[in-house]
Amino acid sequence: MIIILGSQATDAQIDDVIHRIESLGLQAHLSRGTYRTVIGVIGDEQKIAAAPFEAIPGVAQVVPVLPSFKLASSEAHPLPSIIRVGDAKFGGGHLGMIAGPCAVESAEQMDAIGRAVAEAGANVLRGGAFKPRTSPYAFQGLAEEGLKILEDTGKRHGMPVVTEVLDPRHVEMIDRYADMFQIGARNMQNFVLLTEVGRTQKPVLLKRGMSATLKDLLMSAEYILSQGNPNVILCERGVKGFDTETRNLFDVAAVPTLKTMSHLPVIVDPSHATGRPDIIPSCALAGVAAGADGVHIEVHHAPAEALSDGPQALLPLQYAALAKQLRELSNLMQQNPS
């Protein structure tokens, strides 16, 4: 950390800053310039981060040398992380393919969709048992019964399963049935929930909030990592824009940008980003071309009858065609689809 003193800082204030630094067991390196004075702080990063240096009289600015998301940063972990979800791998040249309906509606529905996406090449099955809906009167999910159906379907078709967790009180229950937690956009900064899933060792699919910066997303990942769970996968699912032609603004540039900032795998979710089946394939391919480690797609065998987000789901045949293109593009980019 670097502490920049104000131009009017007195010798007494400078000495006070140095004394406070050394009282924490840290080292202070003073550098006096013509126009400003700078103090470099070296020592235990946790003590440095916790100390309120900006409140000390005479201090103008505190500049961290390392990013505040130190566990998620590429500086702390230069090699890309590979996250395993069952037999599927994300990162390090492996392409994860997550597919399934928005919500678990019935055993018959999940079996039909699970069979279709497995045959198409998906390696993780998704389905919501708890659904965050804008209206309190909309379908909220089948809760634990939905988790049982999802788990059974995954086992039947040889795929690990992922489902969204909305409440810290549900973490233990979902942990019994699912292979990966999903933190949705609305909960990206639910720090209590992030802490709870961080206390497990189960992989976490962390979606970017609708108005979140990339640093916001990485700080949320830091909450999970700081609890001892290294298995975090980042997901770009669109942010709020001003154009109404798509559901959200698909920020494909987030993929390569995040890869310069973090070692964690990054996937894309063009279903929620666009809400338009006609352009979901193009955006999925754009994400992989930009370096995404996986693609998250909503698939439903009868979208007109879906209880949640049917209009943005691909039909099984559409998904099969897209999955083939994704594998071909992944191979072209010298990745190794798992």
Q: Is 292 exposed, middle or buried (0-12, 13-18, 19+ CB in 10 A)?
A: buried
Is 57 in the same domain as 97?
A: no
In a domain, 74, yes or no: no
Residue ending a domain, among 63, 95, 115, is: 63
Per residue in 58-94, pLDDT tens?
898 888 777 778 889 997 788 899 999 999 999 999 9
Kindly report the average pLDDT of the chain as a whole number.
92
Q: pTM of the full predicted structure?
A: 0.85
Q: Which of 12, 34, 63 is where one domain is finished? A: 63
**pLDDT at residue 324 is higher than 90:** yes
- Answer whether 239's CB lies under 8 Å from 212's CB: yes
CB count within 10 Å of CB 302 equals: 14
* pLDDT surpassing 60 at residue 338: no
How many CB atoms are closer than 10 A to CB 7? 9
Per-residue pLDDT, 178: 98
Q: Rounded to whole angstroms, how far apart are CA atoms 109 and 100?
A: 10
Domain, as residue range, for 54: 2-63
Q: What's the one-letter identity of residue 57?
A: P
At 103, which CATH number?
3.20.20.70
* Final residue before a domain boundary, out of 11, 33, 63: 63
205-255 pLDDT, tens digit each: 999 999 999 999 999 999 999 999 999 999 999 999 999 999 999 999 999
The answer to whether residue 337 is domain-embedded is: no
Instruction: Kindly report, residue by residue over 156-167, the tens digit of the pLDDT.
Output: 999 999 999 999
Average pLDDT score over residue span 146-152 = 98
Could you tell me the CATH number of the domain that includes residue 47?
3.30.70.1140
211 and 134 in a common domain: yes
**Number of domain units in the chain:** 2
**Over 90: is that where the pLDDT of 336 sits?**
no
Pair 47, 189 in one domain: no
- Is residue 270 in a domain? yes
